[in-house]
Structure 1
Amino acid sequence: LLISTFDPVPFSTDTVQIVPDVGKQILSNSRKDSEMLWLENPGNYYTPWRPTVIAHGPDIFVIGAVLNTTEGPRDCLIAAQFFTSSLTIYWVDTKIANWTDASKIKSRVIDNSIGNVFDVTVTDLNNDGKPDLLVTNNGEIGSLYAYEVPTDFRSGDFKRHSIATGFKPGKSGTGKGAPGAAMPPSILLSGDDDGKAYYLE
């Protein structure tokens, strides 16, 4: 299946509802220019999917989520931006999300002080009925963090908690780092290049 003739190499992809009342589209990010793209579904299998840039910055991993604001829930995209060392959230400033209108897309940096952000998951870590972010950074000494999602993610403080740290790759070198992805609810953590797996309670 020919998805796109666009040049950048995708790092991660996800299938999300980009345009209201239209079939599923593909969300992708590329490492060529650190772009988050959506690939428009042409409705057939023989036409290339047309890419449109949503934002510059996301590179390694992006997930979709629905988070609260004082004006009701909003569809969001949360990016673990490895190469720009930033955990960033993107949203459409309307009740019905339409990611094709760039003028309505907003963003804010949640944290740019933890190094190379590798993975992010939305989950309820402490069973209080509120979403949290489970985040890893990846490098020579990596860590696992939790962030409390504020009542209004657009302006509130994402309080950070350090869960575990000191993860090191088995061998140092270019492209080596630890840890990898974390999977809740009991946290399973990939050590990535340290060659281990962890279970955290």
Structure 2
Amino acid sequence: MAARVDHLVTSGQFSLDGGSWDVDNNVWIVGDDREAVVIDAAHDADAIAEAVGERKLRAIVCTHGHNDHIDAAPALADRTGAPILLHPDDLPLWRQTHPDRSPDGELHEGQAIAVAGAVLTVLHTPGHAPGAVCLHCPDLDTVFSGDTLFQGGPGATGRSFSHFPTIIESIRERLLTLPPETVVRTGHGDSTTVGAEAPHLQEWVDRGH
């Protein structure tokens, strides 16, 4: 049975540097009718668990450690037994939200996560956060970009632990080198493609987005 991508939108708050903002997050579920991986367990463990259903949850993958992408991860892990995976460079962010619960495993550059016959390859793409990662799945012609790349530009870099030149380098070297037809499934908002975003890199640099 071929792997597919299921999509859920959950709502909550993003909090950092003393401020909080209402946000809608994309939760991506990759798998088939038997097993799945969740990318970014945001806000609502019950809704995510319902979307996973009776499938075996193999992993809860965190694209980065901002609270709005990880706040429901421990509850979902407790319900399903799935391990939480995070790049170690984002542990300081993780601990702001979950000081008493560590992730179960690490993500690292080139790591392969297999589910339902598909393979997700970890791309370390720092900038929005030090341990930000994207997950490239050639089998599904897609990359899950977290908050590194959106429709219309890079993720925000105006807060702690972020750096604009670094995110531009990550996008240029890790994402825009993917096939142009690759669908970019983002952490918030609408999906796009590598081909649609690639021509605008210099514009983003010029305006220091």
Normalised to the residue count of structure 2, the TM-score between the two structures is 0.28
Q: Larger radius of gyration, structure 1 or 2?
A: 1
The structure where helix makes up a greater share of residues is 2
The structure with higher relative contact order (CA 8 Å, sep 6+) is 2
The structure where strand makes up a greater share of residues is 1
